[in-house]
Structure 1
């Protein structure tokens, strides 16, 4: 298969590491070493000779060599820090290029899911290097297997219609996603080592309704990150569970305005401005708000108050609060 001409060309890895052989730190270290050796030479020329014992010779050598060792340890540490900064700048430039590519050419849902699977497999491989036991959490059912979303009941015409002999779809045979897995998936994995987060995310992606919300949330989180808005930096005011339930049941206005608990002025101003000027961002935000509203309505019917609070504290819910308040849906 020929490569797509529109794909961005891969960047040369770690170009920033091509630093000169002698940087500023090494030059300073050479100068200080030379000054130190001159001082030692002057000391030997103008000071009276010692007793010549073995202990005196050892102390003299240690006194001469130890400062030189410390000088070059500091120089090597500075060189390593310079190389790490160059690597960080190269990685940051690569990430910005990827973000720009995704913003100009949104990936298809199948491509996004494939990328998530690849990241999950990479994380599991890294974790397997340090562990030798099986992941029993993926095979042994947990104590809490309550379904996160209530399956809709079939209508009367569908019940009367005879079943076709085409086999049973795989999702009909799969166990429903539990509340704990759904809430964990809505928060997304914390890092590449978050094994439970990736497991819950894969389970949620098997459900069509949850998968739509996850992809919509991923889109808006990536777009918000372009403006330096990250959900971990927000500190929303927590609304009572009954207010979330009233919102899920269709109530709007000032009575349930506390649901939009994000009140960070700079983040709200940036988000509101981008909603007015960026059509791609506005479409992605409205799509995400609709998906969250529909999914949360189903989730609320089967969730306890504590589970509602847990969902409200996820990164996905914080994005909903931020975008909802910037869009004016909380009155």
Structure 2
């Protein structure tokens, strides 16, 4: 992209060329006029008084003066145009710099906050020990499992068994609905202890951990485009639509789930999916993982819990990618 001052200089050079041509024409007209007047005087009678001499001088020099006054005026007009072009270029440059200074810090600040939150999460997970939370061993209605626990016929190869052959996962309390929803919202800030606790518990569940990691991947990729789930305000869908989706319904019958209407976010996401295969693969993996996990969650969730889940950052990302991928068409 050329510098703003290049264009005015180029215009000034072109204007100088036009001035040379104009001055040449003016000089030629002046010479022609002088020759014509001289020829007239030489061909005419030789006698005449002072008045005739004055009139002759006026007749000779007045048209020439008018010609050069016009040339000077034209030069001034062209100079004013060149100056206006330079000022316009300077204004556009300052406006672009101002817009960049207003937008860039906001984007960088959000990226830094996400990075700090991710580092804090890694620190919490790295320091996790075998100590169990007291709330996990207390019987309560709030401890309703988020996902249907599958029946186990035997111990799989990738599941470590204890002394009596019981898989380690069987001794861990199932992830509750409240913890599942809180984990899908992700921590609000580095000081959000409840958010990090729910995230740690969710990552201990292999099924939910797949969804958490898939969601984290797409949220990070969306942040690179300046798209943040907190900025999106989706239209609320009825719990019946979410249940229909969990039971396999697709297309226009569940179009109400695609509540994201922000055209800028939809356009940026669609463009990135077309151009970036990594972004596209991450999006499709996230949609498949959300579909599979939500199908299990819906079996144990109440209508109010479905509404709460729909307001999480993960669910908003699903609505956004679902609309772009045509899930609701």
- Alignment TM-score, normalising by the size of structure 2: 0.58
Give the 3 Å change call, closer, same or farther, for CA 155–253 of structure 1 in structure 2: farther
For residues 111-141 of structure 1, give each alpha carbon's deviation from its aligned partner in whole angstroms, at most 9, with x where no partner exists. Answer: xx9973315679x9xxxxxxxxxx8656756
Measured after TM superposition, the shift of residue 253 of structure 1 is: 1.5
Which residue number in structure 1 is paired with residue 196 of structure 2? 198
Residues 95 and 256 (structure 1), Cα distance of their counterparts in 2 relative to 1, 3 Å cut: closer
For structure 2, the 5+ residue unaligned runs are 1-100
The residue number in structure 2 matching 1:73 is none
- Larger Rg computed on CA atoms: 2
Distance 1:94 1:191 in 2: 11
Q: Residues 239 and 259 of structure 1 are in contact (CA less than 8 Å); yes or no, is this contact kept in structure 2?
A: yes
Matched position secondary structure for 2:142: coil
Greater helix share, 1 or 2?
2
Work out the CA distance in 1 between the residues paired with 2:310 and 2:297.
12
Q: Within 2, Cα distance between the matches of 1:190 and 1:321?
A: 20
Q: Distance in 1 between matches of 2:153 and 2:197?
A: 33
5+ long unaligned stretches in structure 1:
1-84, 100-112, 125-134
Report the CA distance shift for 1:193/1:321 in structure 2 as closer, same or farther (over 3 A).
same
**TM-superposition CA deviations, 1:32-68 (whole Å, max 9, x none):** xxxxxxxxxxxxxxxxxxxxxxxxxxxxxxxxxxxxx
Corresponding position of 2:207: 209
Matched, 1:116 2:114: no
In the alignment, which residue of structure 1 is the partner of 2:266? 268
* 1:129-170 deviation line (CA, Å, top 9, x unaligned): xxxxxx8656756541100000123579x9xxxx99773232
The reply on whether 1:295 has 2:293 as its aligned counterpart is yes
| Contact kept? 2:137, 2:173, Cα under 8 Å | no
Q: Take 1:95 and 1:146, find their aligned partners in 2: how far apart are those partners?
A: 35
CA change 1:136–1:197 in 2 (3 A) is: same
Q: Is this contact kept in 2: 1:138–1:199, CA < 8 A? A: no
Residue of structure 1 in register with 2:147 after alignment: 149
Choose the corresponding residue for 2:276, options 275, 278, 285. 278
Deviations 1:285-315, CA, capped at 9 Å, x for gaps: 0000000000000000110000111101100
User: Which TM-score applies when normalising by structure 1?
Assistant: 0.58
Alpha-carbon distance in structure 2 between the residues aligned to 1:138 and 1:195:
16
Cα separation, partners in 2 of 1:238 and 1:269, compared to 1, 3 Å = same
Q: Is the 8 A contact 2:120 2:190 kept in 1?
A: no
